[in-house]
């Protein structure tokens, strides 16, 4: 089997440090197995997706050396294909048209919350002939009994009871696909074999696997990696260093240092701290990723960056100090003389 991974950011903001680590892990796993690493831009949320955010994500990935092997796929361009799959599932009997109004759905949710039960649409088993001439969603018909187990490459075997899974909406009333459907269809069509992403998506995997099984497609290997927390154990925020990748560039960090540090956030290879990209590709495996959240430490990142700066050739360091500006030969010579002193700092 040829390994194919993907990094699939939503362009609603910059490439944050957690997303950069996910991209890095996908890149390294694909390279380790001689496979492909792809980029998919999940831009279906038109209200929040912006061209500026798309550009910022590409810029951050380029700087880190994590651009995809092929041209990026834009999810918004595939709505017709997503709708096609929903209709196939409808024809197979794995899905149904649901005519619940927003008010009716709210009532069902409140009842389910009060009883701890599922939200079961009355249209699940209704006679299609009784359907009104009204907008409808298309829902996946989930099993009502039993359970589903995912053998996650990081989390191990994780099981969920089917009574915890509602009939998920695949197509909205306006005909647009939901995230759940689009992700599954795109992963299949892109040939993705390993889905490596944050463990905040673990609950989604059970629902997505049911779409895959209904379509009789191969189920990818799932690997849900723990999120990054701040040094105090709290959810990572700007005060901890949750900045964009390019913000670190502008602060003087080297891409090699940032990638090295991100690699060690949740993955280990013995006591090795400084790991080149070639070594990372050779050594990387999902079995060495821990299950607990990693803690972001700005001091450690700075120390890693200092190591890489000290290792730079003098002419490279000089040009970095100039930040690409042209200057005359005399100034260049003087900076080259001073560069080693800056490196030691």
pLDDT for the residue 158: 97
Mean pLDDT within 120-147: 92
Cβ-in-10-Å burial (0-12, 13-18, 19+) of 38 comes to buried
What's 148-172 look like in SS3?
Answer: EEEEECCCEEEEEEHHHCCCCEEEC
Instruction: Give the per-residue pLDDT at 188.
Output: 99
Is 333 contained in some domain?
no
d(CA 312, CA 27): 25
pLDDT score recorded for residue 331: 46
Highest mean pLDDT among 9-18, 204-213, 239-248: 204-213
Whether pLDDT at 180 is above 80: yes
Mean pLDDT computed over 172-177 = 94
Read off the pLDDT of residues 214-249 as tens digits, 9 standing for 90 and up: 999 999 999 999 999 988 888 777 666 668 899 999
Query: What is the model's pLDDT at position 276?
Result: 96
> CA angle, 78 as apex, 75 and 80 as ends, to 5°?
150
Does residue 345 form part of some domain? no
For residue 248, give its domain range. Answer: 4-71+227-311
User: Which residue would you say has higher pLDDT here, 331 or 322?
Assistant: 322
Determine the pLDDT at residue 240. 64
For residue 137, is pLDDT > 90?
A: yes
Beta-sheet pairing, 147-152 with 73-74: unpaired
CA angle 52, 55, 57 (to 5 degrees): 110
> Under 8 Å CB-to-CB from 84, ≥6 apart: which residues?
none
* Residue 290 belongs to domain with CATH number: 3.40.50.620
The percent of residues above 90 in pLDDT, for the chain, comes to 74
Q: Do 127 and 192 share a domain, yes or no? A: yes
Q: Note the pLDDT tens digit of each residue in 326-339.
A: 555 554 455 455 55
Catalytic residue among 210, 238, 291, 300: 238
Tell me whether residue 330 is in a domain: no
The DSSP annotation for 173-191 comes to TTSPBPHHHHHHHHHHHTT
Catalytic residue flag (residue 238):
yes
**pLDDT on residue 8:** 98
What value does the mean pLDDT take over residues 271-281?
Answer: 96
Question: pTM, whole model, 2 decimals?
Answer: 0.90
* CB-based contacts of 329, cutoff 8 Å, min separation 6: none
Number of domains in the chain: 2
Same domain, 36 and 128: no
pLDDT of residue 266: 92
Mean pLDDT of 286-301: 94
At 79-90, the pLDDT tens digits run: 999 999 999 999
Q: Which helix (H) or strand (E) holds 26?
A: helix 17-32
Domain endpoint, select from 207, 225, 243? 225
Looking at residue 238, its pLDDT comes to 64
- Tell whether 107 and 213 lie within a shared domain: yes
Same domain, 147 and 219: yes
Same domain assignment for residues 98 and 209: yes
How confident is the prediction for the chain on average, in pLDDT? 90
């Amino acid at each position: 089997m040829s390994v194919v991974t993907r990094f699939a950011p939503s362009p609603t903001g910059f490439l944050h440090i957690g997303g950069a680590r996910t991209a890095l892990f996908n890149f390294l796993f694909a390279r380790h197995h001689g496979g492909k690493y792809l980029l998919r831009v999940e831009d279906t949320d038109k209200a929040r997706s912006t061209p500026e955010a798309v550009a910022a994500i590409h810029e951050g990935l380029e700087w880190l050396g994590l651009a995809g092997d092929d041209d990026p796929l834009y999810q918004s361009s595939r709505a017709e294909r997503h709708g096609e799959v929903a209709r196939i599932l409808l024809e197979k009997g794995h899905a149904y048209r649901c005519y619940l109004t927003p008010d009716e759905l709210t009532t069902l949710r409140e009842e389910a919350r009060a009883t701890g039960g599922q939200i079961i649409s009355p249209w699940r088993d209704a006679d299609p002939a009784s359907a009104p001439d009204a907008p409808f969603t298309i829902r996946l018909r989930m099993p009502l009994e039993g359970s589903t187990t995912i053998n996650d490459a990081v989390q191990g075997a994780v099981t969920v009871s089917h009574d915890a899974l509602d009939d998920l909406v695949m197509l909205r009333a306006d005909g647009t696909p939901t995230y759940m459907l689009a992700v599954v269809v795109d992963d299949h069509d892109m040939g993705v074999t390993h889905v490596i992403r944050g463990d905040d998506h673990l609950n989604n995997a059970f629902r997505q696997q049911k779409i895959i099984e209904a379509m009789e497609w191969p189920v990818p290997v799932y690997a849900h990696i723990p999120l990054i927390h701040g040094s105090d154990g709290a959810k990572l925020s700007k005060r901890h260093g949750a900045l964009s990748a390019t913000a670190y560039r502008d602060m003087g960090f080297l891409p090699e240092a940032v990638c090295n540090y991100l690699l060690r956030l949740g993955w280990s290879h013995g006591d090795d701290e400084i790991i080149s990209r070639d070594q990372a590709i050779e050594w990387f495996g999902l079995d060495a990723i821990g299950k607990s959240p990693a803690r972001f430490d700005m001091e450690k990142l700075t120390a890693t960056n200092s190591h890489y700066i000290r290792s730079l050739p003098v002419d490279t360091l000089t040009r970095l100090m100039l930040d690409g500006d042209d200057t005359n030969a005399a100034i260049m010579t003087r900076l080259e003389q001073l560069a080693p002193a800056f490196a030691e700092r």
